[in-house]
Every structure is written in structure tokens, then in C-alpha cells.
Amino acid sequence: MPKMKTDISELTVANGETLVWGARTYVMGIINVTPDSFSGDGLSGDVNAVVDRALRIEEDGADILDIGAESTRPSHRKITLKEELVRLIPALEAVAARVRLPISVDTSKAVVAQHAIESGAVIINDISGLRTDPKLAQIAANAGTGLILMHNQQGTQYDNLLPDITASLQNSINTAVISGIPRNNIIIDPGIGFGKTPDQNIELLAGLNELQTLRCPILVGSSRKSTIGLLLNLPVQQRMEGTAATVALAISGGADIVRVHDVKEMVRVCRVTDAIVHGWRPPGWKQS
């Protein structure tokens, strides 16, 4: 396999820019190729629908596309390696042929990651932080892809929430670096909703800036999560405003990427927040 780029910041996004951490927030649009997504937007088995969704996400202004073929909702049904590949690869190949966005694949299996890279993925999004299949790190290192490492654990017991999450993510980073992944190819995700109570999710978002000590770009995936539903007493399809609040606050706390379902609306939230937090201005900006 030919060596790919060795710096994730060199990935070209759809509008011709490159990823420059700290300049603005990058929006990752979600496609679930599953029948049991918690958000109710799964597209299992319908490749044409997946491509249509990907094209719409691109048109709505996303910078990165994230495709996953196994649900991670609470009490989700685990699927076999074969089943994940059958769901994922035809959809991924079809999307890669039509969409200009960098594609991330949500998987914790090394074999799936290998097939995904061969089919067009340039980022691997591992919700286990290399704990499910450490061989995945070597796959990403050999290909030169980006690697997202998420904090995840069984249960919700912590001695001290933010320091414990930081230490766990540092261990995942160390595993990745030892495997040969350049540090500038690593993105961290604190794992909103994974091994955390609603109160812990709120505490994590409030203290997100503490993760900046790890010196990696930060991804936050709070979109439509159950904590928002509990706070507002709303079903999953009515959590856009709550998601918008978490996105704006995550950017203020240091998030570099936000992973969202409602791309068009969250791009708008990001740009206004970026103008305040990062000094971002749109091309051709003129003060009246």
C-alpha cells in the first residue's frame, strides 16, 4: 500500500482549506450505516440513501464525514466482523467516489480499519481508545491515517473525573505513539455519554479545557445525546437547540472538531462561536 500523508493537518477539506488547529472549528457530519442508531437516522443496507446523505452533508458545509456501521448506543447488539464489513464497505466505496470530504470510519476493529483505508478512509475513529484491538494502531501507522482516540470505560466510577479521563487518554496516546503514529495524527475525544452519568457529562463539558494539557486536537460528540434529552425533557429529534449550546460551549472550552447530526445548523453555530473565540471572519468580510 502506498504511504499516505503523515500529517492530518495536510488533509484538504471541501472548501480548499487545510486543517489548521485553533483557526476555526471543523464540523464532522455523521452517517450511521446501522439499523439501530440511537438518533433514529440509521441507513443500514441502503447505499443510495447513504450517498444522498453524504452529498447533503457536504452541501451543508461539513469538513469531515464520519461513517459507522456498528451502533454504540447503550445496550446495542454487537455485530460480527463480517457483518460490519458487509454494511460498511459498499457504502464507503460509493461515498468516496462521490464526495470530496475527508472520510473518517468509526470502528474499533483492525481488520475493518484496514479495509476502510483501502476503500477511501483517511481517519479511523476508535471509540475504545485502542483498548478493543491494539493492532488497529499499527494499521493506522502503516497507512499514515489520522486516528481519533476516545475515552470509554465500563461503569461510571471515577476517583476524580477530569484527571482520570486525562490519564486514560494519555495512555491511549502513548500506545498510538509507540506503534509509530505521529503525534500530529492523533485526535482525542473525551467520550460524552460513554461510561459517564449525565452529571459527569455536564462536568466534563464544563472542564473541557483541562484536556488541552494533552496537546492534541479535541473532538467533542455531544450531538443529540441523552443528557440533553434529560435536561430538556425532549426526544432525540428535538434536541437541536440543546446540541447547539453544547457545541458553542465545547468550542469555548477548546474543541477543534464537533461531531454532529444537524450539519447545516451546527456549522452556523460554529462560525458565530469561532468569530468570538478564535477571531474567525468569513472570506470577504467587511465592516459596515
Edge-to-edge strand list for the sheet holding 186-189: 186-189, 146-150, 123-126, 103-106, 64-68, 26-32, 257-260, 219-220
The reported pLDDT for the residue numbered 148 is 98
pLDDT digit string (tens) for 130-144? Answer: 999 999 999 999 999
CATH of the domain at 32: 3.20.20.20
Instruction: For residues 119-125, give the mean pLDDT.
Output: 96
229 belongs to a structural domain: yes
What's at 178, amino acid-wise? I
- Residue 76 pLDDT > 90: no
Q: The C-alpha cell of 161 is what? A: 473525573
Task: Name residue 224's amino acid.
Answer: R
pLDDT of amino acid 199: 98
Whether residue 1 lies inside any domain: the answer is no
Q: Alpha-carbon distance 25 to 163, whole Å?
A: 25
Contact 57, 65 (CB under 8 A): yes
Question: Residue 225: helix, strand or coil by DSSP?
Answer: coil
Mean pLDDT within 37-61: 81
In a domain, 182, yes or no: yes
Residue 225 appears among annotated catalytic residues: yes
Provide the pLDDT confidence category of residue 74 given band limits of 50, 70 and 90: low
Confidence of residue 13 (pLDDT cuts 50, 70, 90): confident
pLDDT score for 41: 56
Name 52's Cβ contacts closer than 8 Å, sequence gap at least 6: none
Is residue 38's pLDDT more than 50?
A: no
Residue 282 is assigned to a structural domain of this protein:
no
- 63 within some domain: yes
Catalytic hit among 215, 225, 239, 264: 225
Copy the grid coordinates of residue 81.
Answer: 466482523
- Per residue in 157-215, pLDDT (tens digit) is 999 999 999 999 999 999 999 999 999 999 999 999 999 999 999 999 999 999 999 99
The residue segments making up the domain with residue 15 are 8-276
Q: Does 169 map to a domain? A: yes
By the 8 A CB rule, do 205 and 245 touch? no
How many structural domains comprise the chain?
A: 1
* Grid cell 468509526 in the structure block, residue: 106
Kindly name the residue from 87, 259, 271, 286 that is annotated as catalytic: 259
Identify which has the larger pLDDT, 47 or 6. 47
Average pLDDT value for the chain: 92
Q: Which amino acid is at 172?
A: S
Contact call for residues 124 and 113 (beta carbons, < 8 A): yes
Within a domain: 284: no
Residue range 81-95: mean pLDDT, rounded: 94
pLDDT at 2: 37
**Residues linked to residue 149 through DSSP beta bridges, in sequence order:** 126, 188
Lowest mean pLDDT among 10-14, 18-22, 261-265: 10-14
Residue 283 lies in a domain: no
Cβ-contact 138, 180 below 8 angstroms:
yes
pLDDT digits (tens, 9 = 90+) for 209-268: 999 999 999 999 999 999 999 999 999 999 999 999 999 999 999 999 999 999 999 999
Cell of 95: 461515498
